[in-house]
Amino acid sequence: MIDRDRWLEPWLDVVRQRTGTMPVLELGCGSGRDTATLAAAGVRVVGLDESTAAIERARSAVPGAEFHVGDIRDPFPVARARVVIASLSLHYFAWAETADIVERIRVVLNGEGLLVCRLNSVRDHHYGASGHPRIEHNYYLVKGRPKRFFDESDVVRLFAGWRTRLLQERTIDRYGRPKVVWEVAVETPPAT
């Protein structure tokens, strides 16, 4: 299968410059698709995912990376990073939990870091943004699993106090049908 989802490529130089010898923390690494891109660019990666099966596939695909099975609501496997990647992994939670995860990412980045992430858009109708039971604002029970979708004001509110480098809604080709996401890159403000 050819991977046409090259969303990280424009960020690789910045990620390399930021990380130095520190690892990138990848939240929701799945089977290692983005991990492989980062590793091929010479970046050390620590990946976290809740799926044991996905982590086993990731370990096979990217043997040089470090992987952990766990819930991203639990303590992260690193105490400090300069870059965090979170592609389509921050959308399974109630708003308060999502905001808490983002605050914990800010703490790990310690005033000198970059978060590059993708979030489900409210226009992502192929993958659950409509027609499902509502749990809370833009948060639905989709095929038995809670799933959050973000409008622009949600993204701005979630990253209030961060410096925005990119906030762009895009349609991507990843799962067989068009998927609408927000691509976001934000920097933590310098520590005072």
Confidence of residue 25 (pLDDT cuts 50, 70, 90): very high
Residue 153 confidence (pLDDT) above 60: yes
User: What would the pLDDT profile of 69-87 be if each residue is shown by its tens digit?
Assistant: 999 999 999 999 999 999 9
Q: Which domains does the chain have, with CATH numbers?
A: 9-187 (3.40.50.150)
DSSP string, 82-138: SEEEEES-S-SS-HHHHHHHHHHHHHHHTTS-EEEEEEEBTT-GGGTSSSS-EEETT
Signed CA dihedral, 178, 85, 192, 74: sign only = positive
Residue (of 54, 22, 15, 59) closest to 38 by Cα position: 15
Q: Are 85 and 54 a contacting pair, CB within 8 Å?
A: no
Residue 40 confidence (pLDDT) above 70: yes
Residue 143: left (phi > 0), alpha (psi -120 to 50), or beta? Answer: left
Sequence-distant (≥ 6) Cβ neighbours of residue 174 within 8 angstroms: 4, 5
pLDDT of residue 173: 82
Helix 33-40 to helix 52-61 angle (10° resolution) is 30
User: Which whole number is the average pLDDT over 8-21?
Assistant: 95
User: What would the pLDDT profile of 105-151 be if each residue is shown by its tens digit?
Assistant: 999 998 889 999 999 999 999 999 999 999 999 999 999 999 999 99
